[in-house]
Structure 1
Amino acid sequence: MLTHAQGMCFYNQKRFACGDWNWTNFAHQCNYEYRTGETCGIKLVNKTEFETKQCRLCEKIETKYRRQSQELERLDRWKREGGSLVATMNRSQKLVCDLEREIYQLKTERDCKRNALC
């Protein structure tokens, strides 16, 4: 672990079980920036804290998948039982499509975050 290398600003990092990470506390300031409270903009890892849980985006994605699975099971049950509530079935099918779109958006957001450096 590098602690006081000249010319770099160090931050602590949190790494989640899913592999995602984020910056946490500021640790050490470099010598390039002389103004109080300012950093040079270069972020290096001081220490990494490991979390046993997944990140916020992965938790949201899992929640959406569970909800989608419940709706699909409900639709299958209604079809097997010969449900006559067509309006309710249509609303449930729309909900499944909406959940698919939300899952896609969350996955896209997660992938963009994973590909970004800061």
Structure 2
Amino acid sequence: MCFYEQFLYQCSDWKWGNFRQHCQAEYRTGETCGSKFVFQTFGLQEKCKLCLKIDAKERRKAKHIDDYNRWRREPRRYSASIEKALGDIKSLENEIGQLKAEKADRSRAFGARR
């Protein structure tokens, strides 16, 4: 039951910060009991790492969709590029889905703290 800082991201995700105070259960100097409680919460005006990864993959997916739509006008000339773009779009959709599921699992496991 030792106390730590907590950082709350703009997207409601959070992370532990620095150690702040010992609890009564731990008497040894420099040791913690293992349980974590919030000492103070600080709001951050940025997104978490998972949200940044999701945003980057969504931008890449949008670029591939734009390329696909441009190349589709001349299918004989860009047939290989069209197939590659479709494969890239599908793989990016899978990766985005996995990242969103990981974020949802994290929220459920630890609970959104506000």
User: Is 1:33–2:26 an aligned residue pair?
Assistant: yes
Out of 3, 11, 14, which is 2:7 matched to?
14
Question: Runs of at least 4 residues of structure 1 off by over 4 A?
Answer: none
Equivalent in the alignment of 1:59: 52
The superposition leaves residues 61-95 of structure 1 with CA deviations (integer Å, 9 ceiling, x where unpaired) of: 01101110110111011112445221111111111
Tell me the distance in 2 between the aligned counterparts of 1:83 and 1:73: 18
> Following the alignment from structure 1 to structure 2, what is the Cα–Cα distance between the partners of residues 83 and 58?
38
Tell me how many residue pairs correspond in the alignment: 111
Question: Equivalents in 1 of 2:93, 2:71: separation in Å?
Answer: 21
Q: Name the amino acid aligned to 2:84.
A: R
Gapped runs of 5+ residues in structure 1?
1-7
1:3 alignment partner in structure 2: none
Residue 90 (1) aligns with residue 83 (2)? yes
The one-letter code of the counterpart of 2:39 is N
Question: Which of the residues 54, 60, 73 maps onto 2:66?
Answer: 73
Larger mean CA deviation between 74-83 and 18-27 belongs to: 74-83
Q: What's the Cα RMSD here?
A: 1.6
Paired residues of 2:13 and 2:48 also in contact (CA < 8 A): yes
Which one has more relative contact order, counting CA pairs under 8 Å at least 6 apart? 2
Show structure 2 runs of 5+ residues with no match.
Answer: none
Q: What's the TM-score once normalised by structure 2's chain length?
A: 0.88
